[in-house]
Amino acid sequence: MGTISNSYSAVQSKKVYMEASYASTYYAKCISACEAIIQSTLFSLYKPNPASVDEAVNNLGTMFITKQNVEYIFGKSLNDGTTTSGSNFDVYNSPAQTVTGTASCGRYSVALDLVDTYDDYDANRHAVSGIVKTRVDNQEAVYMPTPVTTFASSYAAINYIRYNNISDPFQNKDARFKAWILYPNSVFRGQTIKIQGGIIKTNGTGSFWTDVSETYGGQTYYAFGDVSGKVSGFYNYANANLGNAVTTGFSLRKFLNPTSYQLYIKTFWYDIRYAEILLNYCESVLENNASSKFTLAQQYLNDIRHRAAYTDNMPLSLDEVLHQRRLELAFESDYLYTLHRRREFYNLNVDPIVKARRHALTPVVDLRDLPSGGRPGTGAR
């Protein structure tokens, strides 16, 4: 954790500053509070031992839409007994394909940066890098400038990976990713969610974020994956308020009703759940160098990973604890506080492009050299 320069007047007057000598006492208090909760045995991880990734996906989704007293420690209920009141969170953040009428929707676009952070499983369900692969040359840190609506010759020269199905890059992703994030061609509420943003035609010309199509081999291919009224991403990109369109390639699934959109949701909202207590414990033990507690902290860290269907054990480290915290508590209003607490925002102006810019994935159907009836997909960052 970095040190804030004492050249700032607010730091000098200790308005936004804590003495470094205080840290040990605060971490010790956190450890003690976490131990009281853990040792009470009143709480535990919800369904901690899934037999498969699919089972983990189902468990992790159910946890946020069905009231249970296992992991839930503190929160709030939105059920006041009135049918026409509650939160509009569900309808506002549902994919457009699943919402009828003129209701606003599709407001939550998940950045590719978070998607890349979720690990993949290998054949033994051990964690491996989950960076979404889009290029044969593996230069995944190279991004297109936005907005770009035409497929320039420089992009045409890039050797993108061509997948048979648009959902192929995400098949081995962390169960938490599949349970909590909508990705291209994922299935939700009985529909295949179309999040596609481009087409390269048989003659090599193409476009991004524009409603064009080409008929080839008796089949019509659309830049958005279908006609614009039957898709959830990228259409009306220049005016997302009209289009209700996902604009990053990914959207929110966590908290949403799996059956149908809700004008007024009545489900509870977690403020504190047991997984956060375990993560708080792990971080405090490491920061306070409480070596006698390292074994337990490592167990708690891997308990969280095993609940997501990983079978390996990771060594206890601050990087891994913070990694799991970002994945586990995604969309639960934790990450901003963590960035401030860890001083990740400090000196942001030094390198704002690297630290602040968020990225998107634009799935593209590529018809060049396409045998009749085939459908390869590429992904442009």
Average pLDDT for consecutive 10-residue bins of the chain (381 residues)? 68 74 93 98 97 98 88 84 80 92 82 97 98 94 76 75 94 98 97 94 87 91 91 79 81 94 83 96 98 98 98 98 98 90 67 66 87 59 78
Residues 165 and 277 in one domain: no
For 19, the token pair is 């003495």
Residues 97 and 245 in one domain: yes
d(Cα 64, Cα 72) in Å, to the nearest integer?
10
What pLDDT, on a 0 to 100 scale, did the predictor assign at position 377? 65
Residues 214 and 245 in one domain: yes
d(Cα 219, Cα 217) in Å, to the nearest integer?
6
Residues 168 and 149 in one domain: yes
Let me know if residue 61 belongs to a domain: yes
Residues 363 and 325 in one domain: no
pTM: 0.91
Residues 227 and 278 in one domain: no
Let me know if residue 37 belongs to a domain: yes
* Whole-number percent of the chain with pLDDT over 90: 59
What pLDDT, on a 0 to 100 scale, did the predictor assign at position 258? 94
Return the H-helix or E-strand segment holding 343. Answer: none
Residues 235 and 129 in one domain: yes
- From the number of C-beta atoms within 10 Å of its C-beta (0-12, 13-18, 19+), residue 295 rates as exposed
Let me know if residue 7 belongs to a domain: no
Across the chain, the runs of DSSP E, i.e. the strands, are 72-76, 120-121, 127-128, 181-182, 187-188, 191-192, 198-200, 206-208, 213-216, 219-222, 251-252, 269-273, 362-366, 377-380
The per-residue b/e assignment along 163-179, b for 16 or more CB within 10 angstroms, e otherwise, is beebbbbbebbbbbbbb
What pLDDT, on a 0 to 100 scale, did the predictor assign at position 229? 82
Residues 311 and 346 in one domain: yes
For residue 346, how far is the Cα from the chain centroid? 24
Q: How many domains does the chain have?
A: 2
What pLDDT, on a 0 to 100 scale, did the predictor assign at position 334? 94
Query: Which residue type, as a one-letter code, is found at position 5?
Result: S
Residues 148 and 131 in one domain: yes
Residues 369 and 293 in one domain: no
What pLDDT, on a 0 to 100 scale, did the predictor assign at position 240? 55
For 232, the token pair is 């959830």
For residue 301, how far is the Cα from the chain centroid? 20
Let me know if residue 2 belongs to a domain: no
Q: Are 262 and 253 in contact (CB under 8 A)?
A: no
Residues 145 and 183 in one domain: yes
Residues 375 and 295 in one domain: no
Let me know if residue 3 belongs to a domain: no
What domain range includes position 340?
A: 18-77+268-351
